[in-house]
Amino acid sequence: MASGFFALLDDIAALMDDVAAMSKIAGKKTAGILGDDLAVNAEKASGFVSSRELPVLWAITKGSMLNKIIILPVAFALSAFLPIAVTIILLLGGLYLAYEGAEKVHEYLFHRNHGGKEVLHEELTKAQILAQEKDKIKSAIFTDFILSVEIVIIALGTVVSQPITIQIIVVSIIALIATVGVYGIVALIVRMDDFGFKLIDLNEEDDSISDKIGRFLVNALPVVIRSLSVIGTIALLLVAGGIFMHNLEFLHHWFTGIPSILGEFIVGLIVGVICLSIVLLVKKIIKR
């Protein structure tokens, strides 16, 4: 009886060792996409009224958790019984990410100054503000869904030769990190100014260390928020390009001799421009 118990503990310890080792490998493989995920979601979660930042971020986080709950069992089932479907889903997700990235570039180049002064004086009702907030939350959750698919599939690919128990544990750990870690950092970013004001009010001195740090955080936040929009757009195109580069073999031959990150960006931008052109053309036809 006792020997059986200790044998069970030994098996659990061995399983945990395997899980730790494979989680480390999967973490390295997904580090790049997690960085892109952070940039994209930080940009998506910014731009709200200060009092609504954390509630909005919490709503997006809950949506992200639901995404993982949906994706994980489907990914395990498709990987086991219909692997080609995983590739098709990834490519469709890549099309959407490329389109969204190209659309942001298009908006910046051609529509950033249109009606700027009118927007500043536009008074929105509470219902309109909540509706805009709801739309942005939906957009953030949908983008998170596509990025989550990529994260889960990459993590799954690193443990595909392992027993199903290790696959489930390792990929679930990576999915949890992708949600808690990413949105935890996003929360710190969007509340950086509030933390700065608290440091400034920490004491009555005018030029203390806490005052300097607080003013730095307050002044840095607008720069960070503006930067996140640019970084998030680049990240969308990089993730999309990476999906196509990793799943379409012929693209490797087209972009040999240049850094892979540059090739992924070029592919993402080209695909995004094509998708955006098709969408704009369809909209014009429908409008006519």
Kindly report, residue by residue over 117-167, the tens digit of the pLDDT.
Answer: 444 445 667 777 778 778 888 888 888 887 788 778 777 766 766 777 777
Low-confidence ranges of the chain (pLDDT < 50): 1-2, 4-12, 15, 29, 115-121
Do the beta carbons of residue 156 and residue 11 sit within 8 Å?
A: no
pLDDT at position 204 is 74
What's the pLDDT score for residue 35?
Answer: 57
Instruction: Give the per-residue pLDDT at 38.
Output: 65
Q: What is the pLDDT of residue 8?
A: 41
Residue 238's pLDDT is what?
Answer: 84
- The pLDDT, as a whole number, for residue 250 is 80
In this prediction, residue 280 carries a pLDDT of 92
